Amino acid sequence: MQKKCFNIGGLRLANPVVLAPMAGITSLPYRRIMKEFGAALVFTEMVSCNGLVRDGRKTFELVRSCPEEAPLGIQVFGGEPEVVAEGVRRIEQYGALIDFNLGCPVSKVVRGEAGSALLRQPRRVAAIIGAMRRATDRPLTVKIRAGWDAASINFLEIGHIAQAEGADAITLHPRTRAQGFGGRADWDMIAQLKQALDIPVVGSGDIQTAEDALAMLDRTGCDAVMIGRGAYGNPWLIANILNLLEGRPTRSPSPAERLAVALRHLNYHRDYAGDRKTVFEMRKHLCWYSRGLPGSSDFRQQVNRTGQVDELIQLAESFFGGEEKADVC
Ligand X SMILES: Cc1cc2nc3c(=O)[nH]c(=O)nc-3n(C[C@H](O)[C@H](O)[C@H](O)COP(=O)(O)O)c2cc1C
| CB-nearer residue toward ligand X: 20 or 279 | 20
| CB-nearer residue toward ligand X: 26 or 278 | 26
| CB-nearer residue toward ligand X: 205 or 255 | 205
Least Å from the CB of residue 195 to ligand X: 21
List contacts with ligand X (CB under 6 A).
20-25, 45-46, 75, 101, 103-104, 143, 173, 204-207, 227-230
3-class secondary structure for the chain? CCCCCEEECCEEECCCEEECCCCCCCCHHHHHHHHHCCCCEEECCCEEHHHHHCCCHHHHHCCCCCHHHCCEEEEEECCCHHHHHHHHHHHHHHCCEEEEEECCCCHHHHHCCCHHHHHHCHHHHHHHHHHHHHHCCCCEEEEEEEECCHHHECHHHHHHHHHHCCCCEEEEEEEECCCCCCCCCCHHHHHHHHHHCCCCEEEECCCCCHHHHHHHHHHHCCCEEEECHHHCCCCHHHHHHHHHHCCCCCCCCCHHHHHHHHHHHHHHHHHHHHHHHHHHHHHHHHHHHHCCCCCHHHHHHHHHHCCCHHHHHHHHHHHHHCCCCCCCC
Least Å from the CB of residue 254 to ligand X: 25
Catalytic, 104? Answer: yes
Least Å from the CB of residue 130 to ligand X: 20
| CB-nearer residue toward ligand X: 21 or 255 | 21
Q: Which residue is nearest to ligand X (CB)?
A: 228
5, 49, 66, 104: which is the annotated catalytic residue? 104
Least Å from the CB of residue 227 to ligand X: 6
Least Å from the CB of residue 23 to ligand X: 4
Positions marked catalytic: 104
